[in-house]
């Protein structure tokens, strides 16, 4: 199994290998190109996003600044608005459905490290080694169709947010949220159902 396959399978992988650094360099170049375009240059912006993202639907708007690791692991449906100053750490797949609103300052993380120190540190690591000093893994994130993520929401690795749900501003989503729910807080908890559910 390659390091890229390990990454997408949620196993420990070496995030400092050339393959990952090259993907990051490509993403940084495309992000600079995207940021240099005027708001009115919608066709040009869509073309850059189609090269950056793994998949993109129609009528997608991404405000600047926008930051991601690789871009290629971001899959976006149609009628999606991602407001300014969002960060998507897409070491694994980030899937965003149709008709989704993502407010400013939202952070979506797929990368993580083991909690236990003995598991987090790379065994036998020494300065100058090719491996990173700590172990990294990544888990996918799914944002269902019809969702709205309020300003400053943080979505942690492995989380799935069900279709039609609303996540209140400033919430930290640590576990799955069912469809048609309003969820708020840190940690984020469902406070009621919506959409006739």
Residues known to be catalytic: 113
Q: How far is it, in rounded angstroms, from Cα 46 to Cα 57?
A: 10
Exposed / middle / buried, residue 18 (Cβ in 10 Å: 0-12, 13-18, 19+): exposed
Please identify which residue in the block is written with the tokens 């393959």: 19
The C-alpha atoms of residue 65 and residue 83 are separated, in whole angstroms, by 9
For residues 145 and 98, is the Cβ–Cβ distance under 8 A? yes
Q: How far is CA 68 from the centre of its chain?
A: 7
């Amino acid at each position: 199994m390659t390091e890229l396959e390990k990454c997408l399978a949620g196993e420990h992988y070496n995030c400092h290998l050339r393959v990952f650094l090259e993907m990051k360099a490509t993403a940084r170049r495309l992000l600079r190109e995207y940021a240099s375009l005027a708001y009115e240059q919608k066709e040009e912006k869509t073309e850059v996003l189609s090269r950056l993202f793994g998949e993109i639907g129609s009528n997608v708007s991404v405000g600047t600044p926008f930051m991601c690791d690789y871009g290629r692991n971001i899959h976006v449906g149609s009628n999606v608005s991602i407001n300014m100053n969002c960060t998507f750490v897409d070491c694994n797949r980030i899937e965003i459905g149709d008709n989704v609103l993502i407010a400013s300052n939202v952070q979506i993380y797929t990368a993580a490290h083991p909690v236990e120190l003995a598991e987090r540190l790379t065994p036998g690591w020494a300065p100058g080694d090719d491996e990173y000093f700590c172990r990294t893994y990544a888990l996918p994130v799914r944002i269902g169709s019809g969702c709205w993520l309020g300003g400053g929401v943080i979505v942690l690795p492995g989380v799935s947010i069900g279709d039609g749900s609303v996540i209140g501003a400033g919430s930290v989503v640590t576990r799955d949220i069912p469809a048609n729910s309003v969820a708020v807080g840190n940690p984020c908890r469902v406070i009621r159902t919506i959409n006739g559910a």
